[in-house]
Structure 1
């Protein structure tokens, strides 16, 4: 399929979802939460996700400043009411929604109630930085981003990894529900074909080894998490 592509970027998740709802976007690269919103409001359909080292799952990681003496999830639970917590953007999948979801589901604690205070910091590296600088006790962020910060020594030894969440689906390429299936299939095939050798530069830019097919069923747990933090109402189904 030959097609011309107009590339657009947005400054926030809400604007992106609105653009697809208004049928101004045919194909988009979504964060998990923004995809769930677009699915419910514009019937967006995920077609592929990136695979890195054979993995498509993502994780969130809780980190703490060494001064807290918190080094495990049990320590974190016991001391939560005396600790300040930093999350990412309120609509961030791995910076807010999934860490809050797993903290509730696995440990029966609501972060907004369990901790002394809860603040939101826009960027992942800013979450790590505010913990490293001792400006907050505990933070949660995307685990792959945290790994890179550690590898590049962008965080120091005052930061302790406390707990990683289970894996979850995130970052799909999704199409507008108005597209014909023939067009959708052609777009999907184009992504899958990027694992050919001549496309390595494109894949490197996306920080993936290849793209693999996906479907809405892979995002069921994320949908539950979105409802738990009251971003979606059941009436949106």
Structure 2
């Protein structure tokens, strides 16, 4: 494991699932970690107690709260933007307010968090965005709004990679497919349908995704920027 001793890391959305796994792995590698949470205070308190990381309440749908949370973190070495929501269903009947909230959290918060981090991030820092394989492909109906948001973050990453590149700051998207979390359990009702489209017919673990994040945050990945790194077991190849 790469040594992150002395590094300042912030994880937006770190109380559960992939985010919590990322917090745990950075702490285990020696980093000083802050993470945000919104609707899961008990889970956030548990992760903070387990790891010693600092939990910060911030609603990613609130632009000012996102900016303040990143600004208060000071000069970061790594920012991981994991907070996100998934809304699936027929676009003709989806609640427009729910779609607006999805865009606020999955797109606008990513942009403003990344920009604010860039104001004070140290040279050679890392910005990682947790996207989705649905940014590249839509294998099932009902994913239009979600896919829109995950395609948008690819453009944010490429743009910020260009803007921050002269300072050695890299910006990349990690795109998981099905991951075994409480939102998408490996034994859930849609698991067999998902696995049928995959070359490796299982859900990934949150730790597998976190391990890729830590690699991209390491010095070994200094020349990887503006990319999408997919970890999906071969969905739809």
TM-score (norm 2): 0.30
Q: TM-score, normalised by structure 1?
A: 0.30
Higher relative contact order (CA 8 A, sep 6+): 1
The structure having more radius of gyration, on CA atoms, is: 1
